[in-house]
Structure 1
Amino acid sequence: MSAPKQFNVGIIGYGLSAKVFHIPFIALTPTLNLHSIVQRSPVSGSNSAPEDYPTLKHHTSPEPLVADPEVDVIIICTPPDTHYPLARSALLNNKHVLCEKPFIPSSTEADELAALARQQNRVLCVYQNRRWDSDFLTVQSLLREGTLGRVVEFETHFDRLRLAKPAGTWKSSLRITQAGGALYDLGSHLLDQVFVLFGMPTGVTGKLINQREGRIVNGDGTEEQEPDSVTAVLSYKETGLLVYVRIGVASVESKQPRFWVRGTKASYHKSGLDPQEDWLRAGGKATDAKFGKEAEERYGKLCVLTEEGKVEERVCPTVEPETYLRFYELFAKSLTSGKEEDVPVPAAQAAQVLRIIEAVRESAKTGKEVAP
């Protein structure tokens, strides 16, 4: 039996995303080989890809990497307003593409790229890593097993206490029309998870807020400051389900809420974020024994309706984590098979999530419920 094909990987961008979420996982995936890095302005002694990886190829612009026949896969870790032209160029040069989230500003362009990937017979995947958060996998398990009964309300949060505006990143500098701001940055995570669980909603209402300045934002890109906070309600007419999506920067809580799921048999409460990102940012490794594992004091709670008609509160252990390694395992598998159905987060799904985001923006402008 012949050895599995090795795929040479080139990365465009050398910031936090590349260093923390991609390069370590490439090294742990047997069929992937880090080949090249694009860093526009290496800083010797502090932030230099050529110094960190002296045996690799290095470029200061994407064009040589995209044209390199030795490169099979390109990972895009640049601000979202650059994703569309970079992904399109890579696909036209017969490269497989993994693109960081938020994918791109427009669902129309997302559809274009998905069609181009099929035409070129190339994999196009979006890095929605939080599908592999252990708290989200716990929610999936509870729904799959029917523990909660019929879900009537689903509440998902990404709340923080960050009253000072962050500086120096695209998250605070790009306009909403360029996929900047909280709706695209954090909303793409929350809405992607909702899409995985429940599919497309029948109606969307949304409010975009600048909590730091204390005002409502239109969401049409005309505001001087982009929204830092979001409240959206997604409705599912067929089942009566309401999904509440909340993002805030003025959340003064000892434990930030994450999930509150109400069903006819039980409710699930969870606070705090999945620990993988903090672990990696602190210098931990994906191979560490504790990677992705939550401490027992961070487990969620189940409120269960007993046969006697009483409500009993129980600890709900977080499921055994698959971790972000699982994403890379699936991505590598899709490169080998070339099948869109094997892609862990296909571009076509990302386009659907963008339609929900666009519906939130439209509702924020009109004050009406919008069908995505």
Structure 2
Amino acid sequence: MEVIKTGLAAFGMSGQVFHAPFISSNPQFELSKIVERSKNLSKEKYPKAEIVRSFDELIADAQLELIIINTPDSTHYEYAKAALLAGKHVVIEKPITSNADQAKELVDIAKSKNLMISAYQNRRWDADFLAVKEILAKNLLGRVVEFESTFSRYRNFIKPGTWKETGELGGGLTYNIGSHLIDQAVRLFGLPEAVYADLGTVRTGGMVDDYFVIRFLRPALAPELKVSLKASYLMRTPEPRFVLHGTLGSFVKYGIDRQEEDLIAGKSPLEQNWGKEDEEFYGWLHTEADGREINTRYEGPAGNYGAFYENIYRHLRLNEALETDASEVLDVIRIIEAAYQSHKEERIIHLR
């Protein structure tokens, strides 16, 4: 079948690490054009991709079928709308937009023009999250009563010159990492009835939120489950990535999926054992089966961000279901908005 000619809206960290390697290594795609406003960084690794100097020039190319919106958050709405109106399918970096009404408008435009709009929720293919999904699918813990998801980072300085640190064009840890943790929890347990959140700026000189704890109250698929989501930039000693407790046992998982680190180091997604965890980061399963206690390391599936683009291809060419339909991620934005409101007003915010 015909390859999907793709344009990349920026070649910063996101373009270099999360998008270009997977588009270029998948023979079903062609990385045709890349926006670089003044530099030519992409030429070394992707010499066949034409460099253009503006987003307008990118979407004016009639041959491009798919546009990746990986620019600062505040530009997502404008750029995605322009791409859709130009007749392009669109992938937008999470969290789509920082405003649920704008995100809904983009979804409606895409639907009216029979175009795809996908949210880049690549951490649905993290090894740690896939292990949790497998544990739950196998019912190894019985009825789960507590779920904790923590993203530990240590960066005790403010990185200069980046919009994610100034808040001028979006940013903040809740919209950044929070959109992933919330999306994962909603995928597992459904939309909560309400949320309660504590957000903060914990680093000296910080200008955006770099700490959060968000609690889901009565998630739709498990109303009695206690759900807590946490992230911080001041966690030099990491907490477990996941902790699950159930009526039969517990699952505790340390370590963050290695794909981002490997991509930054220049490794290719085509390398053998891509996304496979080192044994030291296997989760610990302590449960029982047939009256026998089990206390062992648990090897989960390998991580695979490439599955995101494989699904995009199969959706556009084979009409298979889109696993990252932006319409299904609107609730993530609503939960983030509710988290900010909860923090500001110091109260529980009901969603439905």
TM-score by length of 2: 0.94
**Counterpart for residue 275 of structure 1:** 258
Contact 1:11/1:18 (8 A) holds in 2:
yes
Contact 1:37–1:58 (CA under 8 A) maintained in structure 2: yes
- The residue aligned with 2:218 is 236
CA contact (8 A) 2:70 2:92 kept: yes
Equivalent residue for 1:189, pick from 180, 185, 192: 180
Q: CA deviation at 1:306?
A: 6.2
Counterpart-to-counterpart distance in 2, 1:311 and 1:161 = 37
Q: Provide Cα deviations, 1:220-249, integer angstroms capped at 9, x if missing partner.
A: xxxx82211001111116631111011112
Report the number of matched residues. 349
Residue 318 of structure 1 and its aligned partner are, at CA, apart by 2.1
Provide the rounded CA distance (Å) in 1 between the counterparts of 2:56 and 2:289.
63
Look up the SS of the partner of 1:168 in the other structure. Answer: coil
Q: What residue is the counterpart of 1:344 in the other structure?
A: 323
Secondary structure, counterpart of 1:257 in structure 2: coil
Is it true that 1:247 corresponds to 2:251 in the alignment? no
Identity within the alignment, %: 37
Q: Confirm whether residue 146 of structure 1 aligns to residue 129 of structure 2.
A: no
How far did residue 188 of structure 1 move? Answer: 0.7
Distance across 2 between alignment mates of 1:327 and 1:115: 22
Match for residue 17 of structure 1?
Answer: 14
Which residues of structure 1 form unaligned runs of 5+? 215-223
The one-letter code sitting in structure 2 at the alignment partner of 1:151 is V
After superposition, what is the alpha-carbon deviation per residue over 1:232-275, rounded to whole angstroms, capped at 9, x for unaligned?
A: 1111166311110111122231x442000111111110111011
1:12-70 Cα deviation digits (max 9, x unpaired) = 1011211121112112222211111111121xxxx523455444332111111112111
Tell me what 1:263 maps to: 246
Opposite residue 161 of structure 1, the aligned amino acid is Y
Name the SS of the counterpart of 1:186 in structure 2.
helix
* More deviation, 100-109/115-124: 100-109
Residue 314 of structure 1 deviates from its aligned partner by 1.6
1:302: how far off?
A: 1.2
Q: What corresponds to 1:36 in structure 2?
A: 33
Please name the residue that 1:288 is paired with.
271
- Please give the alpha-carbon distance, in whole angstroms, between the structure 2 residues aligned to 1:52 and 1:276: 19
Asked if 1:172 is matched to 2:165, the reply is: yes
Cα distance change, pair 50–286 in 1 and its aligned pair in 2 (3 A): closer
Question: Whole-Å Cα distance in 2 between the matches of residues 230 and 172 of structure 1?
Answer: 16
**Segment drifting more, 236-245 vs 88-97:** 236-245
Question: Map of 1:292-371 to 2, 5 A cutoff?
Answer: 292-305=275-288, 312-319=294-301, 321=302, 323-337=304-318, 342-371=321-350
Shift of 1:290: 2.6
Cα RMSD between the aligned structures? 1.9
Question: CA distance change for structure 1 residues 315 and 69 in 2, over 3 Å: closer, same or farther?
Answer: same
TM-score (norm 1): 0.89
Match of 1:131 in 2: 124
User: Within 1, Cα distance between the matches of 2:100 and 2:74?
Assistant: 13
Secondary structure of 1:196 counterpart: helix
Preserved CA contact (<8 Å) 2:92 2:118: yes
Q: 1:61-100 CA distances to partner (integer Å, 9 max, x unpaired)?
A: 1111112111111011111110110000000010000111
> 1:106 corresponds to which residue?
99
Mapped to 1, the partners of 2:266 and 2:27 lie a distance apart of 22
**Cα–Cα, structure 1 residues 290 and 337, in superposed 2: closer, same or farther, change >3 Å?**
closer
Partner Cα separation in structure 1 for residue 191 and residue 203 of structure 2? 31
Matches within 5 A, 1:55-134: 55-134=48-127
The answer to whether the Cα contact below 8 Å between 2:67 and 2:90 also exists between their aligned partners in 1 is: yes
Corresponding residue for 1:221? none
